[in-house]
Amino acid sequence: MRMRRSVWAIVTLAAVAGCGPQPGVEVKQTSQPSAPPAAASRGTIGFSALTLKNPFFKIIADSLTAEARRHGFEVTVSDAERDVQEQTKHVENFLAQKVSAIVLNPTDRIAIGPAIKKANEAGVPVFTCDLECEVKDVEVAGHVGTDNYQGGKLAGEAMIEVLGDGGGEVLILHFKQANSCVERVRGFREVIDKHNEGRSSGKIEMVAELEGGGLQDQGFRAAADALQAHPNLSAIFAINDPTALGAWTALKQVGKTDQVKVIGFDGQLEGKQAIKEGKFYADPIQFPEKMGVITVQNILKYLDGEPFEKVIHIPTELYRKADADRDPALKQGQAN
């Protein structure tokens, strides 16, 4: 189901950040402090993740689980391992368990449609997170994800910035089965195409678009092949950090880490560290913790019959080395 982009609203994230005593407020401690009363049981939420091997989806799973438990839900987390048939089995299992709601990172934006249709027929609401379903005849109760098109445009701007007036040959490492990656590449290409308009020199030429699979090992193989076919490559845009890390490893193997610049996407800790160490130039960063929290808040509103924003696309922010240098989450160290 193709859904309209909406504007991100400010959301309170008390569920993720611990709340301590405030200045000027006296906190009295009894000799035997009692735990806060547990929230009344609201049932179970079934979550089928694209792959828990990718830290990004593990963060979504953890934040979703913590927020859901705070509101009285149990959460069943299953790893689809990027397999739509496995994810279909997860949906069937959730329905057999009579869950209150289902959350999916769709493994395939089209092929997941029949599984969602089964949930529709059973009257169980399905929410998507990060990745969307693009099947028209199914009902998705709500979606929270990244504004991937906007993020792709930021990646394009970063590419223009790093290549400068000289332009150069660029490789795109894609993952076409995910609609989020399709949108990233669409935004990226739009910015580069506009940059090239009317130019007789200094153009940025996209010489290849290869399947990187969203994985480090596959990104490595695709980049290694591209370097053989395009020895004058100037830069790589990879649709996520694992793919970008694989590409950088391929560059290191042939001694081209200085020649070829890398722009990733995600802002995972490993990606931010790579930016700090000079392996990547920049990343449009996402906010997976917010995705998990807001998804649960939308489930609550849906079940309680309250209105909510059914499609939320959270804007990305461009993260460069200057940001990495002042990021307290990153370890100190020298570039490799």
Cα–Cα distance for residue pair 156/150, rounded to 1 Å: 10
pLDDT of 12? 36
> 39 falls in which pLDDT band (50, 70, 90)?
low
Cβ–Cβ contacts within 10 Å for residue 320, how many?
15
> 296 falls in which pLDDT band (50, 70, 90)?
very high
Is residue 319 over pLDDT 70?
yes
What are the tens digits of pLDDT across the range 263-289? 999 998 999 999 999 999 999 999 999
Using alpha carbons, list the distances in angstroms from residue 39 to 43, 72, 230, 332: 11, 5, 59, 41
Is residue 115 over pLDDT 50?
yes
Look up the pTM and report it.
Answer: 0.79
What's the rounded mean pLDDT across residues 76-104? Answer: 98
Q: Write down the mean pLDDT value for the chain.
A: 89
pLDDT of 226? 97
Cα–Cα distance for residue pair 12/219, rounded to 1 Å: 37
What are the tens digits of pLDDT across the range 116-145? 999 999 999 999 999 999 999 999 999 999
pLDDT of 179? 87
pLDDT of 11? 35
> 32 falls in which pLDDT band (50, 70, 90)?
very low
pLDDT of 4? 39
Domain with CATH 3.40.50.2300 in the chain: 43-146+287-315, 148-285+320-325
Is residue 293 over pLDDT 80?
yes
> DSSP class of residue 33?
P
Q: Any residues with CB less than 8 A from the CB of 217 and at least 6 apart, and which?
A: 246
Helix or strand or coil: residue 131? coil
CATH topology for the 148-285+320-325 domain = Rossmann fold (3.40.50)
Is residue 28 over pLDDT 70?
no
pLDDT of 178? 86
Cα–Cα distance for residue pair 53/81, rounded to 1 Å: 8
Decide if domain 43-146+287-315 falls under CATH 3.90.10.10.
no
pLDDT of 175? 93
The amino acid sitting at 234 is S
Cα–Cα distance for residue pair 43/46, rounded to 1 Å: 10
CA 180-81-243 angle, 5° bins: 50
What's the rounded mean pLDDT across residues 181-209? Answer: 96
